[in-house]
Structure 1
């Protein structure tokens, strides 16, 4: 299929662009799909659910036949909890690879679930590496599963899941991937990266709206998950078994969100699938980062770890820079950015995903330039200590 350039809509009725890792700016077609009501038990809606599951599996490419797709009501964190509770057995133990808030949230989830776990915490700057994982697994034979974050959006880092997978399976363990903010724009083909299950959400790189997540897992793992879950509503096996038998969700589905997501999946395919979507986001990132660096801003991460999903910038050291004011002025110009989520340094984030292209990202840079001038910020350079810390950790 030959991909066509996507039609990027201007903000709807003057709404600002959402420069966040989701919810994000959606197309008119996605919004319009929510104007009709659907019966959750009706054959038409059951057909929509089948179509959605099939289209998501198709994104895996070769090897997709070994997997199935199970949508789960709720936000992305609901789906992550469902995956962890369903696939890490109660007598299992998980190694959580953390380098930001979402890895730590997985560890917190496992604590709530009463699952034994260990955390490899790499801080905000660096990814977990395969050799580190291999060393931990060699020292602790009780670890049954490894949990990895594909794109850690608190820092914007893209983690090396391929080398992590190689280390996990060389040690005879199993990998679960939180690809919440990456699936649909960054390849996660089981023919290239082995894993048992992954999880993502409707309102990320597929460019739908919030309301459900989905677990894509090996059928063998789904069958083995019976009885593992702590929760009635978050039981992936029970949801899967019910869908396979009836075609229906066990409990009230977000019907309008599913209709919108199908439109988003069709647009994703027309853009060239994962490769096409990822190329646009990468171009968004490159144009935006180059422009912000010209203004004097510095990225938290070195180029090799920058994801095409969201980029973290240090806040300027200039005394006139106040993030709250910067945020409000950017919003007045039509751009909602994201606060930082780091523990060691003041920062903010700019997302690259959603209904935006490189022309929009140039407008973002112009808005940032104008905002700095309005605030009387003479330099966007970060504190010297922040750069020294980055250099020390990266060495």
Structure 2
């Protein structure tokens, strides 16, 4: 294995989460220098960050611009919604998990119009459904799609959603928080008004900022829309273009780390190579955990290469808190489930990990089960029956 991968033997566990995630030593090392936020050197770093991200969005890049936003990914989602949806606008939110529902709640806070399509935990929204809703509700101005819903691990069909949205003459907003940098996202082909992502996802940087990539004409016309001083995409864009600076204190160390992460992303082969590694990580861990008796929440066709949700075993000997600690003791931090219907846990496939690490994850899970006295990791029959019924 490459020495650039973390080593639990040195006291650093692997983060099997959708971000924060395990990062390369080079990324960590980039944060060992301090930067002045107004300094020409840091302004050059900001320009570099913006231009390199734009280079990843396809042939339509000249019509778009990149606006970094301080804070977690949810800050960028709120900035996008508050800036691009006018006060009299209405958004069709396509939800099938916690992050779609969070976007809906954000719109309620903002006082924007909302039409919520909640598909539950198992299924994606489909293009035909979107087309039907848009035809029946002419007040809808925008559609918000979550590229990969990490509460369940479902990969949503953004292409058919985009086609239905464009055909109806509405504007598409995408939360690509955990997908951009690995999964394809051609903004022009999708007729995308704006999308958001974060530093600490598939680019494999560290937390501290997200970014909005949007059409320049949409940014220009967003002046005065925002409910927030700090989350005003137009104001941030205008200031960056005039001065090269962030309006408020930037996460300088995170930016330095992100630029190094972009170097590694490019050296690996960009998004296609990263997608191939993450997909292999998923395949190895799914096959291995199924071999122990675990089962995935989702049918295979909807499994993303970002994170996979597994049912908790039915065995009374299984206790998630102990399972978590046993996995942590072997160098792996896993994620609890975010589902309301059934007990579950999640294994992230992204970050500085390869298939050898995932084989070790499977081995660690087998050891944890044996320590708890769990003879079968099979989920409740009712959970499998529900999945089968909904996937039909």
Normalised by the shorter chain, which TM-score bucket?
A: over 0.9
Q: Do structure 1's residue 308 and structure 2's residue 305 form an aligned pair? A: yes
Q: Which of the numbers 269, 273, 288 marks the counterpart of 1:272?
A: 269
Q: 1:15 to 1:9 in 2, by over 3 A?
A: closer
Q: Which of the numbers 293, 298, 311 marks the counterpart of 1:296?
A: 293
Partner of 2:177 in structure 1?
A: 180
Q: Work out whether residues 6 and 271 of structure 1, in 8 Å CA contact, stay in contact via their aligned partners in 2.
A: no
Q: Which of the numbers 139, 143, 150 marks the counterpart of 2:140?
A: 143
CA distance in 2, matches of 1:157, 1:50: 34
Q: Work out whether residues 239 and 246 of structure 2, in 8 Å CA contact, stay in contact via their aligned partners in 1.
A: yes
Q: Which of the numbers 356, 359, 363 marks the counterpart of 2:360?
A: 363
Q: Which of the numbers 157, 160, 163 marks the counterpart of 1:160?
A: 157
SS class of match (1:248): coil
* Structure 2 unaligned residues grouped into runs of 5+: none
Q: CA deviation at 1:13?
A: 2.9
Q: Which of the numbers 202, 226, 240 marks the counterpart of 1:243?
A: 240
Q: CA deviation at 1:191?
A: 3.9
Partner of 2:69 in structure 1?
A: 72
SS class of match (1:250): coil
Q: How does 1:24-63 map to 2 (within 5 A)?
A: 24-63=21-60
Partner of 2:97 in structure 1?
A: 100
Q: Which of the numbers 115, 119, 130 marks the counterpart of 1:118?
A: 115
Q: Which of the numbers 211, 234, 237 marks the counterpart of 2:208?
A: 211
Tell me the TM-score normalised to structure 2 length: 0.99
CA distance in 1, matches of 2:272, 2:224: 38
Tell me the TM-score normalised to structure 1 length: 0.98
Q: CA deviation at 1:15?
A: 1.1
CA distance in 2, matches of 1:65, 1:232: 27
CA distance in 1, matches of 2:66, 2:188: 17
Partner of 1:380 in structure 2?
A: 377
Q: CA deviation at 1:150?
A: 0.3
SS class of match (1:313): strand
Q: CA deviation at 1:6?
A: 9.4
Q: CA deviation at 1:12?
A: 7.8
Q: Work out whether residues 5 and 23 of structure 2, in 8 Å CA contact, stay in contact via their aligned partners in 1.
A: no
Q: CA deviation at 1:7?
A: 4.4
Q: Work out whether residues 6 and 12 of structure 2, in 8 Å CA contact, stay in contact via their aligned partners in 1.
A: no
CA distance in 1, matches of 2:328, 2:283: 22
SS class of match (1:196): strand
Q: Which of the numbers 18, 21, 26 marks the counterpart of 1:21?
A: 18
Q: Do structure 1's residue 350 and structure 2's residue 347 form an aligned pair? A: yes
Q: CA deviation at 1:126?
A: 0.1
SS class of match (2:74): helix
CA distance in 2, matches of 1:12, 1:170: 54
Q: Do structure 1's residue 222 and structure 2's residue 237 form an aligned pair? A: no
